[in-house]
Structure 1
Amino acid sequence: MTDAAPETRRGNAGEVFLAFLRLGLTSFGGPIAHLGFFRTEFVERRRWIDERGYGELVALSQFLPGPSSSQVGFALGLLRAGPLGALAAFSAFTLPSAILLVLFAFGVSWFDGPLAQGALSGLLVVAVAIVAQAVVGMARTLTPDLRRALIAVGALVLVVVVPGSLGQIVAILAGGAAGMLLCRATPDAAVEPATFRVPRWAGVVALSTCAILLTGLPILAALVRSPAVALLDAFTRAGALVFGGGHVVLPLLEAEVVAPGWVGSDDFLAGYAAAQAVPGPLFTFAGYLGALAEPGPGGVAGAALALVGVFLPGFLLLVGVLPFWDALRRRPGAQGFIRGASAAVVGILAAALYDPVFTTAIVDGPTFALAVTAFVLLVVAKAPPWAVVLLGAVAGVLVGLG
């Protein structure tokens, strides 16, 4: 029940780790699909946050640079179990794909052949059903009236006309502005939002640390001429400049490691292809590049530096903004903006459901039939997502062999 009140008790880091580890092993399909998996697990099943709070969190992640789905997961862990919960959520969701891609950098490949490709095709089809379920469920709560439904449609049109992260940011801003005009006095105004319990001093420290890293690392890299510092600087810069996460980071990573000759273009493309075949955040592609990059320590140490660099700025910005966000969204004047921005998120997800999720995965009649079957299992039969993911992989192999 998505309209039920969220749980009020606090959890522990172990609980958060196990919940996100399962998602880290089964969440295929990219950042939009990850948001669908998170909603199913933490809004519907575990009720750690309600639908409105989740919509606000997704909207906030679209504003900030960094890996959007990982930022949402980090915030959910923070909400449930504090700082240790945030670290547990990040580690569990990220480690499976990071380990697989680092192994791939060492020459271990499990991503070739008809069986692997068939399973990947089936997993991408299941992602269509997961995102469709999320769009339908969020629309019920975040666009309950004509005004907010029209805001969602407007956002959808805008991101279709202006693709990429720019269109998403403009759509959320426009949705918020429309919400301030049209949605200031709606019945949900009294709903108490989720509180992340981040003190303002911690937010200031996080923002200051992010600023120091972005300004200090280039200077330090030029002074000490250390390959490790140069590697950390390159990936920190890439992680701090990308909005929306996912595939948007690829040109930035290519500019940082291929252009200077740290990683060959063939190796870069091979790693990108492998990153499509693993669950979890696409930003873990940085671990593969860090393991191969020259200069740099290479291997596991290089992978660790690259992963820290690409994820850290987005998390610092999130922690820095959250205490001010908590205070701001309680003001009456901000409520209309939040409702409009949350409605715009529904439109953005609906647009992404078509392209790239649907257009990538649904290539013929059998894949369409599998997507409909997965959707019915999730929505009507209330089947657990992990079971539907497993079914999709097996069905994809069978379709590929047929």
Structure 2
Amino acid sequence: MRALEVFWVFLRLGLTSFGGPVAHLGYFRAEFVTRRAWLTEQDYADLMALAQFLPGPTSSQTGFAVGLLRAGWPGALAAWLGFTLPSALLMVALALGITRLGDVSAAGWLAGLKVAAVAIVAQAVGGMWSSLVTDRLRAGLALGVAALLVVVPGAGAQVLALLACSLISWRFLPAMALREGHLPPVAVSRGAGLGLLVGCGALLLLLPVLAPLAAGWALLDATYRAGALVFGGGHVVLPLLEAGFVPHFLGHETFIGGYGAANAVPGPLFTFATYLGAAQGSVSPALGAGIATVGVFLPGLLLMAGVLPFWSALSALPAARSALAGVNAGVVGLLLAALYSPVFTGGIRGPRELALALVAYAALTAGRLPAWAVVLGCALLGQFVL
């Protein structure tokens, strides 16, 4: 059964994907483009480009779309559950006091995981560059986006840079014929997609009306609004969640303590909302964790499923493919900028970390080891060497 296969693959990724959303995209590429060939390089780049344009958790939306294309709605749900469940359970355990991580910022295993992320993102950038940056115009776009985002980071600059890439390539690249290996049929009709988009917007308007009626509705409103209004995912969601939870549901110290621990667990950083839902005292921890988890992910997943059938049809047009070629080059530049900051600057503190990163990169490329094995090896070496 394809959905079960999707679940197990994403569960392993959820257990081993450290390093934040940019690193997650590198893990996904290694698994679904290089190892399993579920998608071509350009198919995967298309999904990444779409996720960058939509509000919500970029890596989770990309994984959700991979599951949807692979096994329909059961596959989409399986992908989201598999990737989200490990970190969500860890965050619930932390909130209940079962697991006490304390200050792990100086832990050797965590330093090793950061080094592994450097190697994995570098591999992704190199592979995508060779496939998607095939002429001087696209090379210029990729390097220009990287230069811009190194100087002016942030989700707003990312979206504007990708829009500029689409306009430039649409104007200066010849209309491109539909390539072979285009996205498989999506298990969502255009009518259903439109309904999902309308429903997503309706919930954004309805939940503030329901919030005063019960604590559960208020919790769902706070997390849904954060998930619906954040571009770029990852750490960008922090101020929105803080506005929704502090001081209404919990104190600032509890909020910051959970955020620090969220950076030390694998999988999507959006499961920080799971911790907040379990830590608040208005409803039971289990119910609060469930509401918060669904609330923060739901808008991004609805948007991805709603837009994907229109995206697939649009991307088949020759002129649109020319525009999308520039966006894909821009996405490579985005990853290149992220490889520098925060991945490289956060993971490489000295010659030992750099040496381990080079060994990990060699293991991924020349040794063709799977990403999860490199991650575990770096964590083990980091504990004893770094």
For 2:227, the equivalent position in structure 1 comes to 239
Assess if the C-alpha contact under 8 Å between 1:128 and 1:357 holds in 2.
Answer: yes
> 257, 263, 268: which is aligned to 1:270?
257
Shift of 1:115: 11
Residue type at the aligned position of 2:263: Q
* Percent identity of paired positions between Structure 1 and Structure 2: 54
Shift of 1:34: 0.1
For 2:272, the equivalent position in structure 1 comes to 285
Label 1:373 to 1:103 Cα distance change in 2 as closer, same or farther (>3 A): same
Give matches, 1:67-82, under 5 Å.
Answer: 67-82=57-72
> 367, 376, 386: which is aligned to 1:390?
376
Question: Hey, what's the Cα distance between the residues in 1 that align with 2:224 and 2:104?
Answer: 37
Assess if the C-alpha contact under 8 Å between 1:184 and 1:335 holds in 2.
Answer: no
Residue type at the aligned position of 2:239: P
Question: Hey, what's the Cα distance between the residues in 2 that align with 1:110 and 1:371?
Answer: 29
Residue type at the aligned position of 1:252: L
Shift of 1:174: 0.8
Secondary structure of 2:202's counterpart equals helix
For 1:251, the equivalent position in structure 2 comes to 239
Question: Hey, what's the Cα distance between the residues in 1 that align with 2:120 and 2:47?
Answer: 19
Question: Hey, what's the Cα distance between the residues in 1 that align with 2:357 and 2:258?
Answer: 28
Shift of 1:356: 0.2
Question: Hey, what's the Cα distance between the residues in 1 that align with 2:230 and 2:44?
Answer: 22
For 1:6, the equivalent position in structure 2 comes to none
Label 1:302 to 1:113 Cα distance change in 2 as closer, same or farther (>3 A): closer
- Deviations, residues 174-197 of structure 1 (Å, cap 9, x unaligned): 1111111222245x7433411323
Label 1:110 to 1:382 Cα distance change in 2 as closer, same or farther (>3 A): farther
Aligned length, in residue pairs: 385
Secondary structure of 1:190's counterpart equals coil
- Deviations, residues 311-340 of structure 1 (Å, cap 9, x unaligned): 000011111111111111111221111000
The gaps in structure 2 that reach 5 residues or longer are none
For 2:216, the equivalent position in structure 1 comes to 228
Shift of 1:380: 0.7
Secondary structure of 2:241's counterpart equals helix
> 319, 325, 328: which is aligned to 1:339?
325
TM-score (norm. length: structure 1): 0.93
For 1:105, the equivalent position in structure 2 comes to 95
Label 1:231 to 1:191 Cα distance change in 2 as closer, same or farther (>3 A): same
Q: What root-mean-square deviation, in Å, do the aligned CA atoms of Structure 1 and Structure 2 show?
A: 1.5
Give matches, 1:3-402, under 5 Å.
Answer: 12-112=2-102, 117-185=107-175, 189-195=178-184, 196-222=186-212, 225-258=213-246, 260-294=247-281, 296-400=282-386
Which portions of structure 1, spanning 4 or more consecutive aligned residues, are displaced by more than 6 angstroms?
A: 113-116
Question: Hey, what's the Cα distance between the residues in 1 that align with 2:317 and 2:152?
Answer: 31
Label 1:114 to 1:151 Cα distance change in 2 as closer, same or farther (>3 A): closer
Shift of 1:134: 0.2
Question: Hey, what's the Cα distance between the residues in 1 that align with 2:200 and 2:64?
Answer: 17
Question: Hey, what's the Cα distance between the residues in 2 that align with 1:114 and 1:227?
Answer: 33
Shift of 1:114: 7.2
Residue type at the aligned position of 2:228: A
Shift of 1:90: 0.3
Question: Hey, what's the Cα distance between the residues in 1 that align with 2:67 and 2:92?
Answer: 25
- Deviations, residues 108-142 of structure 1 (Å, cap 9, x unaligned): 23534779821111011100000000000000011
Assess if the C-alpha contact under 8 Å between 1:17 and 1:91 holds in 2.
Answer: yes
Shift of 1:56: 0.9
Shift of 1:145: 1.3
Question: Hey, what's the Cα distance between the residues in 1 that align with 2:77 and 2:23?
Answer: 22
Question: Hey, what's the Cα distance between the residues in 2 that align with 1:308 and 1:265?
Answer: 23
Question: Hey, what's the Cα distance between the residues in 1 that align with 2:372 and 2:151?
Answer: 35
Shift of 1:389: 0.9
- Deviations, residues 271-317 of structure 1 (Å, cap 9, x unaligned): 011101100000000000001124x3131110000011000000111
Question: Hey, what's the Cα distance between the residues in 2 that align with 1:323 and 1:335?
Answer: 16
Label 1:113 to 1:312 Cα distance change in 2 as closer, same or farther (>3 A): closer
Assess if the C-alpha contact under 8 Å between 1:115 and 1:397 holds in 2.
Answer: no
Shift of 1:26: 0.2
Assess if the C-alpha contact under 8 Å between 1:66 and 1:241 holds in 2.
Answer: yes
Assess if the C-alpha contact under 8 Å between 1:116 and 1:397 holds in 2.
Answer: no
Question: Hey, what's the Cα distance between the residues in 2 that align with 1:115 and 1:29?
Answer: 13
Assess if the C-alpha contact under 8 Å between 1:111 and 1:117 holds in 2.
Answer: no
Residue type at the aligned position of 1:263: L
Question: Hey, what's the Cα distance between the residues in 1 that align with 2:106 and 2:307?
Answer: 41
Q: Which moved more, 1:384-393 or 1:14-23?
A: 384-393
Assess if the C-alpha contact under 8 Å between 2:40 and 2:181 holds in 1.
Answer: no
